[in-house]
Amino acid sequence: MKTSVLIIGGGATGTGLARDLALRGVQSILVEKGDLNAGASGANHGLLHSGGRYVASDPETAKECREEGEILKQVASNCIENTGGLFVAVAGDDEKYVADFPVLCSRCGIPAHELDPKEALELEPTLSRQVITAYAVEDAFIDPFKLSMENMDQALSLGGSLLCHTKVVGFECSNRRIQSVHLKNTRTGETIIVEAEQVVNATGAWAGEVAALAGISIDLLYSKGSLLITDSRIATRVVNRLRPSSDADILVPGGTVSLLGTTSIRIESLDDIRPTIAEMDHIIDQAAEVIPVLKDTRYIRAYSGVRPLVASQSAGDDRSVSRSFALLDHARDGLENFATITGGKLSTYRYMAEKTADLVCARMGVSKPCVTRTEPLPSSETSRWTEPGLAPKEWIKRGAPEDLILCECEMVPKSVIDRIVTSIRDQGDRADLRGIGLRSRIGKGTCQGAFCGIRITAHLYDKGDLQADEGLVGLRTFLNERWKGVRPILWDGSLIQEELQEAMHCGLFGLEL
Amino acid sequence: MSDVETGKFDVCIIGTGMAGMASALYAANRGLSTVQVGSAGEIMFASGLLDLLGVHPVEEKRAINRPWEGINELRKDMPNHPYARIKEQDIRAAFDEFLSFLQDASLPYQRRNERNCQVITSLGTLKTTYCVPKTMWNGVDALETKKPCLLVDIRGFKGFSAGQMAAALQDVWPDLRTARISFPETEHMSEVYAEQMARALDSPQNRAKLIEMLKPHVKDVQTVGMPTIFGVSRTHEVVSDLNKGLGVTVFEIPTLPPSVSGVRLKEAFEERIPDKGVRLLPREKVLKVHHGTDGYFTLGIGQETTDRTLKARGIILASGRFLGKGLQADREHIRETIFDLPVTQPPDRTQWHRKNFLDPSGHPINRAGLEIDDSFRPLDSSGRPAFKWLFAAGSILAHQDWMRMKCGSGLALATGFAAVQSFVRLFR
């Protein structure tokens, strides 16, 4: 296989880069070892930062967030719910930080409008009565799955290629260049060799591991962040705690739920990333100081992502390490057609892609400039089903009653599953429950896949997409995967749900045997 | 003596799941004036299969073929398991009495006395159980002899794919064929439900139509498997008409809960248990309980607020686990909801569940529950019976994992039987 640019990593940056290049007429192949957004791009708050979070610790990132927020609200509005946000401090919070906040915001050009605590309570009645200060900022919710899929879909429509479940196993280098990249399909074991003019490593936390395959060392710190999903939407706006960055500072409303987090825990290895019970309890206790109802609300799932922080060899708190990104030109390491883009934030993904594409294009002598600043991101058929409430709305509108609802919690009908299966197949891959889950709301409701997993498996067998015991193997994998996020929040209502699920999957079906 | 009019009973059974229903039956059969309270519904989630002991030890995933021998091993390996406190003859008697009640309620079951049997599930897995509704028995037989078999699924009935079962079971049962039909009179409907089809088949006209639908598909097979829909109250007639009409045997395959098997059990109980003299108060909860100086428990009963007060000499607590709301958990602790009895449990939440959902050893939280003495009386924190006349039965008991061991119904029946026996011994 030959291509102009091989992009490694199917997160926000990799897919954004594929689109940026495609719009400049540069052909690319994107290779992803799992599925799209399998890393941190799929495990974050979905927060389009106003920048306010970073005004004290990292003004550069704060400014980037502000600029990118403004751009994305224009060009990617279909992925964004412009909720607005608040920064609030409660009695006992650091008063100096509170006092400095408006000054620091204005220095970064970030609009922050002071509210009377009473006003803030009127806007967000779930806030604690202990609120002493509040500012309104321009935060928003951005659907990271939809975003990456739309970027990818446009790249594909312009001639790009995507290889999911395909992993880089080695680089062949000579004459200061990567001559070819060896890939392996993790499902079939098939090996593929790609010759690319340029190779970009956009693998986030895995950037060090991938670069190491080419003999290059990148010093990355891994910071795990865990988050919780509530079963209903708690607030209408993003609520940030007005204090120096700490745990459980941000509650983001996303569609019908809210996302609460995070923690920041230094980890040494990327194996087996999962949220822990201690993190959950800590997040809830902290966040309840600002929004007391979070103590008693029902949570449906937790998840963890890993922030790749480019080490400045500094000791101390990971939060003080810059959240800005690193574009590493490996020419200086002896490989002239290789670069790594890592670090950064979801909010600045477009800018990261632009800078990377600029570097790659300059190397290839492509002079066409970046257009993603102004060119709207088209919505695509395959990416739209991540939006909560869309599937039922369309289902009712179509009024096709033979179109059975397979996921009853999130009302996802058969036709949507069929379309997603087809689109995955069109991208040269095979649909399984995980892949369908990534592209829709299945498994995200109260039952967490207990019922819809079974119904969709049956449907895939009926369509002839599954043979022998593949469906059972896939169901076990799917359930164990969902479990990672369910296990730490099992008490009260979620525990009841879990017991029903286990009675069914183990008691009756014997899936553990 | 106790008396229904004054709301004074010998025994109050709390819970309307399998253990509560069985306990009420045993109590009534022994001439006790019995009242049963429960918020209903739980038994709807029963699979309808009566497990005795299917897997032991769970860590080894060892399937048990001879359950009575398995229970004898279990007595040694797990001396705290509730089975270890009950004589084999009593467990057998519990089954006999329960099955005879179901037989009388037109819900006949079938078993091999000494051996477990296997059924295929709607997922395409094999399930080891002890006793199955008679409507499923032909399937047990057909699986054992690998008879050429047609699996039929139904248009609009979700989560039940004949193709899936045939594919997943191809190694153990090669001669499985598949067909899809529209259930009679549902051509205009998109989705069909098991209970709706089962109720339709209680009528002979619909059975005749179903037979016509099935006939063209029944070629070169000796048996036909379908989802559990062969009637709610007239299952025997449905099976016999289908057998006759098709010229081959038919059988039911267990489906996702809440299933028709659960509905049948619920209706059989709710109809027949009052005939036994049990005062059944389904859809109600015990909101308050107090043990008075007169030696009686006073129970406040209602949905949200206390609507009535009952008195009972003894109580059998069969309120179930989390789904049944006999146990409740917050972030720190698991507690028993009615008497606040001590619950044996892992030290903290980090040890409730294992890292993998499908870990064969099972989650430690599932072995949490009430400690009891040999008379099935729950213990207080000092290790003595909490009350002289309070007994406990079913899944609320500690030291068992019915979901992994496949012993749920056996546990419900045997412990209900033992609790009632102890009560009677003390009472007389």
Domains observed in chain A: 2-40+145-219+323-364 (3.50.50.60), 72-140+222-310 (3.30.9.10), 384-508 (no CATH)
Q: From chain A, pick out residues whose CB is under 8 angstroms from the CB of B158.
A: 404, 406, 455, 458-459
Where does the pLDDT of residue A312 fall: very low under 50, low under 70, confident under 90, or very high at 90 and above? low
CA distance to partner chain A, nearest, from residue B319 (Å): 14
Which of A284, A499, A508 is the best mutation test for B, with the most CBs of B within 10 A? A508
Where does the pLDDT of residue B282 fall: very low under 50, low under 70, confident under 90, or very high at 90 and above? confident
Q: Which residue of A has its CA nearest to B167?
A: A468
Where does the pLDDT of residue A313 fall: very low under 50, low under 70, confident under 90, or very high at 90 and above? very low
First to last CA, chain B: 12
Close Cβ partners of B261 (under 8 Å, ≥ 6 residues apart):
B46, B47, B48, B49, B133, B228, B254
pLDDT for res B45: 84
What average pLDDT does the segment A165-170 reach? 96
Q: Please list the residue range(s) of chain B that carry CATH number 3.40.50.1860.
A: 122-253
CB pairs under 8 A between A and B: 146
pLDDT above 70: residue A487: yes
Of A491, A509, A512, the CB nearest to B329: A491
Q: List, for residues B385-409, the tens digit of each pLDDT value.
A: 999 999 999 999 999 999 999 999 9
Which of A479, A506, A511 is the best mutation test for B, with the most CBs of B within 10 A? A506
Of A401, A490, A508, the CB nearest to B121: A508
Closest by CA position to B210, among listed B237, B175, B177: B237
Q: What is the ipTM of this complex?
A: 0.95
pLDDT for res A156: 95
Q: Please list the residue range(s) of chain B that carry CATH number 3.50.50.60.
A: 8-104+263-427
Do the Cβ atoms of A487 and B330 come within 8 Å? no
Q: List, for residues A316-371, the tens digit of each pLDDT value.
A: 455 555 568 899 999 999 999 999 999 999 999 999 999 999 999 999 999 999 99
Where does the pLDDT of residue B327 fall: very low under 50, low under 70, confident under 90, or very high at 90 and above? very high
Of B168, B323, B330, the CB nearest to A500: B323
Which of A499, A501, A505, A511 is the best mutation test for B, with the most CBs of B within 10 A? A499
pLDDT above 50: residue B336: yes
Of A472, A491, A502, the CB nearest to B403: A502
Asked whether A68 and A136 are in contact (CB, 8 A), the reply is no
Q: List, for residues B372-388, the tens digit of each pLDDT value.
A: 999 999 999 999 999 99
Q: Which residue of B has its CA nearest to A486?
A: B357
Least confident segment among A108-117, A247-256, B5-14, B115-124:
B5-14
Asked whether B9 and B310 are in contact (CB, 8 A), the reply is yes
Question: Residues B329-333: contacts with CB within 8 Å, 24+ apart?
Answer: B329/A490, B329/A491, B329/A492, B329/A495, B330/A491, B330/A492, B331/A281, B331/A284, B331/A491
Q: From chain A, pick out residues whose CB is under 8 angstroms from the CB of B125.
A: 472, 509-511, 513
Where does the pLDDT of residue B271 fall: very low under 50, low under 70, confident under 90, or very high at 90 and above? very high
pLDDT above 80: residue A151: yes
Q: Which residue of B has its CA nearest to A403?
A: B190
Asked whether B402 and B408 are in contact (CB, 8 A), the reply is yes
Radius of gyration for chain B, computed over Cα atoms and rounded to the nearest angstrom: 22
Q: From chain A, pick out residues whose CB is under 8 angstroms from the CB of B60.
A: none
Q: Which residue of A has its CA nearest to B258?
A: A504
Do the Cβ atoms of A490 and B353 come within 8 Å? yes
Do the Cβ atoms of B168 and A472 come within 8 Å? yes
Q: For residues B10 and B32, what is the distance between their CA atoms, to the nearest angstrom?
A: 6
CATH number of B8-104+263-427: 3.50.50.60
Q: From chain B, pick out residues whose CB is under 8 angstroms from the CB of A491.
A: 329-331, 349
Q: Which residue of A has its CA nearest to B351?
A: A277
pLDDT for res A272: 87
Strand partners, A191: A184
Where does the pLDDT of residue A315 fall: very low under 50, low under 70, confident under 90, or very high at 90 and above? very low
Q: List, for residues A59-76, the tens digit of each pLDDT value.
A: 999 999 999 999 999 999
What average pLDDT does the segment A29-55 reach? 95
**Higher per-residue pLDDT: B2 or A453:** A453
Where does the pLDDT of residue A426 fall: very low under 50, low under 70, confident under 90, or very high at 90 and above? confident
Of A277, A404, A461, the CB nearest to B167: A461
Asked whether A207 and A306 are in contact (CB, 8 A), the reply is no
Q: List, for residues B21-52, the tens digit of each pLDDT value.
A: 999 999 999 999 999 999 866 788 888 999 99
CA distance to partner chain B, nearest, from residue A275 (Å): 11
Do the Cβ atoms of A483 and B357 come within 8 Å? yes
pLDDT above 70: residue B304: yes
Percent with pLDDT over 70 in chain A: 97
Q: Quote the pTM value.
A: 0.93
pLDDT above 60: residue A314: no
What average pLDDT does the segment A424-433 reach? 87
Do the Cβ atoms of B159 and A281 come within 8 Å? no
Percent with pLDDT over 90 in chain A: 83
Closest by CA position to A54, among listed A235, A221, A240, A204: A240
Close Cβ partners of B158 (under 8 Å, ≥ 6 residues apart):
A404, A406, A455, A458, A459, B191
Q: Which fold has domain B122-253?
A: Rossmann fold (3.40.50)
Of B125, B159, B164, the CB nearest to A511: B125
What average pLDDT does the segment A233-262 reach? 93
A308 preceded by cis ω (within 30°)? Answer: no
CA distance to partner chain B, nearest, from residue A279 (Å): 11
pLDDT for res B2: 41
What average pLDDT does the segment B333-348 reach? 97
> What's the whole-number average pLDDT of chain A?
93
> What's the whole-number average pLDDT of chain B?
94
Do the Cβ atoms of A502 and B366 come within 8 Å? yes
pLDDT for res A381: 79
Q: From chain B, pick out residues whose CB is under 8 angstroms from the CB of A459.
A: 158, 161
pLDDT above 70: residue A501: yes
pLDDT for res B40: 65
pLDDT for res A396: 83
Q: Which residue of A has its CA nearest to B171?
A: A468
CA distance to partner chain A, nearest, from residue B6 (Å): 37
pLDDT above 60: residue B5: no
Q: From chain B, pick out residues whose CB is under 8 angstroms from the CB of A461.
A: 161, 163-164, 167
What average pLDDT does the segment A145-158 reach? 95
Do the Cβ atoms of B349 and A471 come within 8 Å? no
Q: For residues B403 and B388, what is the distance between their CA atoms, to the nearest angstrom?
A: 31
Least confident segment among A56-65, A183-192, A304-313:
A304-313
H or E element at residue B418: helix B408-427
Asked whether B318 and B417 are in contact (CB, 8 A), the reply is no
Do the Cβ atoms of A471 and B408 come within 8 Å? no
- Residue A463's CB: how many other CB atoms inside 10 A? 15
Q: List, for residues B145-194, the tens digit of each pLDDT value.
A: 999 999 999 999 999 999 999 999 999 999 999 999 999 988 888 899 99
Q: List, for residues B211-253, the tens digit of each pLDDT value.
A: 999 999 999 999 999 999 999 999 999 999 999 999 999 999 9
